[in-house]
Amino acid sequence: MLGLSALVPRDPFYQLTIALCFVGILVTTVFAFVLRPKNQAQSVVTLGAYLKFIYGCFLKPHTGDGSGSQQDALESFYKAQADVYDATRVRLLRGREDMLGLVAAQLKHRAEAGLITQRPVWVDIGGGTGHNVEQMNNFISVQDFFHAVYVVDLSPSLCEMARKRFSRLGWANVKVICQDARAFRLHEHEPQAHHRKQVILKGQTVRDLDENADAGGAELVTMSYALSMIPEFYSAIDSIDSLLSPNGVIGVVDFYVQNLVDFKGRNYMGGAINRHCMWISRVFWRTWFEIDRVNLEPARRDYLEYRFGTVLASNARNNFFNTGIKLPYYIWVGCSKDNGAATQKLAEIDAAATESPYLSALDLQTGVTQNNIKVHSKAYESAIVNLQSSLPLPATWYQNHHWRIHYDSSLPKHTRFNNSYIYAFTWEDDVADMRLLKPNQNDVVLAIGSAGDNILAFCLENCRRVHAVDLNPSQNHLLELKVAAFTALGYQSVWNLFGEGKHADFHNMLIQKLSPHLSSEAFQFWLHNGPSVFSSPRSKGLYYSGGSGYALSAAGWLFRLLGMSEDVKKLCAAQTLNEQREIWQRSIKNLLHSKILTWAVLGNEKWLWKALGVPPAQRAIIEAEFKKQSYFDEAKTAEKAAGDDYMSFHEEPSDEALKPDPGNAIYEYVLNTFEPVINTTLLSTSNHYYLLTLLGHYTPQSHPTYLSPKSHTKLSKPNAFNALRIHTDEISEVVRRMRPRTLTIVVVMDSMDWFPPTGQQALKQIRALNRALKVRGRVMLRSAGLEPWYLRVFGECGFACKRVAARMPGSCIDRVNMYASTWICTKEAGLDGDESTAGAREVSLAEMRLEGPAMRME
């Protein structure tokens, strides 16, 4: 019996031909099935369009008039498929609509901010059939918003399609120019630009690349899958600078492949997430696209980012026809490289981050003294390094708002969080904080950012400056999203995002409304993660995301498993404390106070950290407090029975006696946490913390302060967040770079519990806080212990420590009731001896506010 090989000629040419035929049939089949139309009426037209596309891209020889020019090459490629170009590129050229939405949002923001004072001009380089211009009309009116739109392309066939398009649409302000983009000059087509150029160049040598020196030029330049098809891309990118006005925007979307080594050391880009492509992807896509003279070498994107400043950048993957083959593409929005380099601007932004004396010319009016120490933020230092090397500034300098301070996202201390936040909500009672601290418009506040709820509470108090600090970049991305939402959205949208935790149209809202108010890193984080959090049908919402989301999901799963879901709903809807207590005692208490659950879940160290954010050092404090209390109780009972001196009860237990007993310690801590909350606060109206953990969302009757309509009115006002600065770093590193004696309030939450008793971390941070605080400045902290060990260090470093709240069995320290004590440590003396101890001890208004039954330790 003859094998198949006997029927196939052994000539390599024939074998190659047969192989190509099989590949052609396979590609045709994939396109026919994956891209089949939804209705039968369009089936013949669509199939014919893709047959033309397959023929033009894979089978047709690239022959032209023999000149070998770029125009000849383009025309030979596009002429046979010009009439089906738009129909066949919808799924292949992803990201075009997102790029248009981003630049449209940037233009509208600049117009509202007064940076664009006339109807803008748009130049679409490589605009082809004019598809982008028609799609832009979905975001802003092309006829009404733009003074003129120029579609520049080198292919006559595509330009002819564009002319037919705009003739059909009747858009007289759109002009199609069949020309090499490098030779296109705006003044040759715009009379006003021509007149300005004549005035400027009178008696001077003509310089083509000096067109925008008079604040003229185009306010928008775009390139959609065109940069990869331009051989002389250096000069093409340089020519953009001759077209762009000083406040103009550039938008580019294109394919790319790149190696991590190429961009790892750069600090002038924003959003490098998922930019790396593995070697097989780089080799395959470069080779594949080179068949059609499309070049994916990284130098094109690199030079673009070097030549201009990065406003927003995103790296994405096009799931190629849902086959699992992912084609990399990027969206990049930029501006002039010199747009953020003004000396005064650098100084102002730096001053706001460091509380430097330069602010005497701004809002703080701190004045200059002889004792001032020159300090600079990391943002300022990075800017100086870049300017000395003729590099663009880091992307944070080109943002529309300077809330987010520059940080190096590649450092291990940031990457160890695996691009995820732990807390989707803040587990601190902001009402209690405001009552204890009474912040006002003269206060300069530094607080841990967490999920940002407490930061917004300080912003509501109109504090002079609010510094939010968090080492986890993703926590600050969440805070940025909240700030952007208040800046750009109405109350209902803000409520949907952070009250319900869901928004069906999150992607479009991010592109069209939120993007101008986000840093590049935060924008890309939410572009990648936001839809799966807020709008995916499979998602339960924001509060089921992040590390804390595991706890909420596990609790919900357990309630459903044990048939308690209805009781949970009733508990959250109870209108009286008696009704709430009855449901608790009858059903839920037995579950939450189960020793088996405590041992299996709350006794698990990994679970405590990953889901609840309780580090080992804090757990050790809980265990030590429990052991200490148990020792005291046993000693008290024994001594009473023996008639011994009761004062021996106050002796410190030995280290051996304080060895941890994890199961019982956590169990008792949970008992002392939940029971008083249920007995004293009504979840449905006044305790949104536990309402959220049970329901997974807030309600209009029970929610954080920042989610009230009144708060939205205040936080949505122009310049409402001018005082905010978001630092991605350790507290000690941030305060080290601040001018001494400028902070008045520092809120460290429970972070001091995270330091081990051994080592110098706590001492270093406390000394740094002393240096940065004014005399009578206050540090507010919470602890899992009644008398945490580090208070002694505060006392040794010039602070007077006062416990302003303590959790006793049966009572609540606040609505959260998760911590054993709250302390305010007031700076009375500096460490360098330059402050008067006597003057520091004078009673101030701040101290008077804290007087009461609280215990004072000195």
Parse the chain into domains and list their residue ranges: 4-67+83-87, 95-336, 343-394, 412-489+707-857, 576-681
Is residue 37's pLDDT more than 60? no
pLDDT value for 190:
76
212 pLDDT above the threshold of 90? no
Is residue 655 predicted with pLDDT exceeding 60?
Answer: no
- Beta pairing class for 218-224 and 121-125: parallel
Q: Which range among 180-189, 350-359, 644-653, 710-719 shows the weakest confidence by mean pLDDT?
A: 644-653
Classified as helix, coil or strand, 444 is: strand
| Band (855; pLDDT cuts 50, 70, 90) | very low
470 phi/psi in degrees, rounded to 5? -155, 135
End-to-end CA, the chain:
101
Percent of the chain beyond pLDDT 70?
71
Residue-wise pLDDT tens digits, 388-414: 888 898 888 899 998 999 998 888 899
**What is the rounded CA–CA span in Å between residue 584 and residue 590?**
9
By the 8 A CB rule, do 684 and 702 touch? yes
Q: What is the pLDDT of residue 267?
A: 77
Most confidently predicted of 127-131, 145-149, 418-422, 584-588: 145-149
Choose among 731, 745, 827, 733: nearest CA to 445: 745
pLDDT surpasses 50 at 848? no
The model's pTM is: 0.83
Reduced 3-state DSSP string for 576-641: CHHHHHHHHHHHHHHHHCCHHHHHHHHCCHHHHHHCCCCCHHHHHHHHHHHHHHHHHHHHHHHHHH
Tokens 């709250």 belong to which residue? 822
pLDDT (0 to 100) of residue 52:
57
Nearest to 493 by CA among 475, 505, 477, 476: 505
406/27 Cα distance (integer angstroms): 47
User: Per residue in 528-572, pLDDT tens?
Assistant: 999 999 999 999 999 999 988 988 888 888 888 888 899 999 999
Residue among 802, 708, 745 at smallest CA distance from 433: 745
Name the most confidently modeled range: 212-216, 295-299, 639-643.
Answer: 295-299
The answer to whether the Cα torsion of 368, 372, 374, 379 is positive or negative is negative
DSSP string computed for 106-159? HHHHHHHTTS--S--EEEEET-TTSHHHHHHTTTS-HHHH-SEEEEEES-HHHH
Question: What is the rounded CA–CA span in Å between residue 523 and residue 532?
Answer: 15
Q: What is the pLDDT of residue 567?
A: 92
- At 13, which helix (H) or strand (E)? helix 12-34
| CB atoms closer than 10 angstroms to residue 674 | 18
Instruction: Kindly state which CATH superfamily the domain 95-336 is placed in.
Output: Vaccinia Virus protein VP39 (3.40.50.150)
Q: Give the Cα separation of 236 and 234 in Å (integer).
A: 5
**Residues near 431 by Cβ (< 8 Å), separated by ≥ 6?**
705, 814, 815
| 3-class DSSP state of 425 | coil
Q: What is the pLDDT of residue 631?
A: 45
412-489+707-857 and 95-336 share a CATH fold:
yes
Q: Which CATH class is domain 412-489+707-857?
A: alpha beta
Check residues 45 and 454 and name the one with the higher pLDDT: 454
Number of H helices, E strands in the chain: 39, 15
Q: In whole angstroms, what is the distance from residue 185 CA to residue 690 CA? A: 63
The answer, yes or no, to whether residue 637 has pLDDT greater than 60, is: no
